[in-house]
Structure 1
């Protein structure tokens, strides 16, 4: 990506996607959602970046990157499980089938990694050895590959709450899903992760971990929702440099939300302290990371389109048929 071109377009940020003409607005951490009368949902990916259960900043073109990356993966995995996609009327927008979201988030991990309070690395460093129903041996190193991918479910925090770690037994004991649903969820998640790791390896990447959100449709069928294998929902490392960096005890090269997470963690405790303003150069550099992620993951070029004014105005024009 031409950094001069990116800086010149850094003002094209979508930090809010409120559209009064659309009904039933729900604002999530990153996406604005509208439920339509025909049973579909308009999902607009903004440029907000969320971590540590808070909004940190707005990154130019991030919403477009997320939508188009998820589109690539939805199309690559449609043979594994059904997904919610109906149409893409705008680069930042997907219209999907409205689902009843299941109250458990499925996180699949292939490595002892992470920076959040619920990551296996954070918990391991605190001395915990049994997490999410899985027992880890002593002596593991940061960012070490696990013997096989594991599922680490968390409670789905609605209305801005905190996700909480769960074991599979707790998922079932709390009645969050039925045993049959849990069996389907885990089978889907592990198959999706395997496909993601395979495709990532073909691009010189390692898919380290990811989260999936599932819901049920009007028939009770389990359907993949939200996003899949994007830089927001997943951690990617560069495969070529991982062995040497791991051997040296260095952090693997990545291009996901860790770029911003690490900047914040180096300056405060994001769960307790105010987060300092993120400088413009970090914002632009983060935008470049997201665009590079899209291009590397998909093998496609990211083109910055003509400046048509406010991003939200363009989206409203493209959604005119839904209003």
Structure 2
């Protein structure tokens, strides 16, 4: 940690809110409860969440100047699934929401959210789930057609499952398996991107507690469809700069670690704004924040979505380093707090 902005952020608040976010199911398109949660949390800090027609949440923070308003965006939606069909034995075939490898959810506990509001527990399995029964169980390809959800109800037929209220189109959320360790490690599904949402609320909490005002107007956008590519396709027309706050990928030739703030110079959508990226690097150095600059070849952000939709903006991408993205993820509280510190440095500059 450094002796500037990061220590003045409320680390315990950020981590506590992150746990609440992680434990609230929110696969893309099923984000009503998590938006309610962030709206309640914002209200405690004196801010209002405006909901857009597509379900995104927006928080406007008045600044000292209305010149060149800036947007900060993170997404509350996560990976998940939807019921594709009910099999003759009562189990479910599912279709993925978001891009993940099937082996990363095999054996996972899940909840099926029916349209009536009921939840039914289940487990994701291969259709050849036992090595005692199937000689090719180990080699069976993990793909959508070869996967199923076993429901924790007395059902052995399609008709019995239908009587539970389950139908095609019902959302499915994965058990996040949240663990907050005393040494600062945080491991859970869906750190992408709830760790960044918690960082943004760390910024809000600091501004309110310190009675400070950003140098210019700031709009925080909490998007609900990022994992399927169009979370932040709309940006308020007054915004000139947009920082996507999303997880930093780790692996291969990338230099980011789980304790760093990742600054992405380029992803699959192309390079981010030179001036903004340079300023973020300079501010990280000034604040003494551990950081890394990387290029992500298989990655797109809400800033990418905004640019593709025609927004006339400059854009940048930062976030806490997250290991095993779209799998069993892990980060460190330092990276989340330091991401908030870098955002604060940017908006107060």
Q: TM-score, normalised by structure 2?
A: 0.30
Structure with max Cα Rg:
2
- Higher RCO (CA-CA < 8 Å; seq separation 6+): 2
